[in-house]
Amino acid sequence: MNKNNKNINLTRKNSILGLKHLQSTLDDFFNDLWWPTRTENLLEGFQPLSKLSEDKDNYYLEVDLPGTKKEEVEIEVENNILRIHGERKETKEDQRRHYSEIFYGSFTRDYNLPNAVDSSKIKARYENGVLTVTIPKSSESKTREVKVE
C-alpha cells in the first residue's frame, strides 16, 4: 500500500467519526426541543414517523400511522407532554410469509410541548393513515408589532 492510500483511509475514517459526532450533537439539540422524548424499541417494533411544522398561529404535528385504525389511537396532554399511544395490529393470513419489512405492535411517542401553547384547544384529525394534531400557540407566543415612539 502506498503512502497516499493511508491518507485517504484516515480521511474517510475521520469523516465518518465527524459525521457520527455531528449526528449525536444534532440528536441532543432536537431532544431538548420538540423531538420525541422517548422512543422505545425503535428498531424492534412499529414506531410511527412524524413531522413538525408551524405557521403564525399553530404548530402541526403529523404522524404516519399506516394500517392503524382511528379507534386504536389515543392522545393525551399532561405536564406539557403530548403523548400519542396506539397499536398497529397484524392481520392474520392463511398463507406463509417469506419476507416482511412491516412492523406491528403497540407504540408510544412523547413530544415536549413549548410553554407557549394553548393545550386546552389542541385538535386531532385522522385521514388516510395520517394523524394531524393542531396545537394552537398561546397569545403570548404570537408575533406582534411594536410601534417605535
Mind listing the pLDDT tens digit for each residue in 10-57? 444 455 556 666 666 666 665 555 545 444 444 456 788 999 999 989
Computed over its alpha carbons, how large is the radius of gyration of the chain?
A: 21
Range of weakest confidence among 2-6, 97-101, 115-119 = 2-6
And the C-alpha cell for 139?
Answer: 397569545
AA letter at 97: R
Which residues, 6 or more positions from 118, have their beta carbon under 8 angstroms from its beta carbon? 136, 137, 138
More confident residue, 56 or 147: 56
Q: What pLDDT is stored for residue 74 in this prediction?
A: 95
Q: What pLDDT is stored for residue 10 in this prediction?
A: 46
Average pLDDT over residues 116-140: 91
For the stretch 75-112, pLDDT in tens is 999 888 899 999 888 877 767 777 777 777 888 999 98
Q: What pLDDT is stored for residue 122 in this prediction?
A: 94
Q: Report the 3 state secondary structure along the chain.
A: CCHHHHHHHHHHHHHHHHHHHHHHHHHHHHHCCCCEEECCCCCCCCCCCEEEEECCCEEEEEEECCCCCHHHEEEEEECCEEEEEEEECCCCCCCCCCCCCCCCEEEEEEEECCCCECHHHCEEEEECCEEEEEEEECCCCCCCCCCCC
What is the pTM assigned to this prediction? Answer: 0.63
Q: How far apart are CA 46 and CA 103, in angstroms?
A: 5
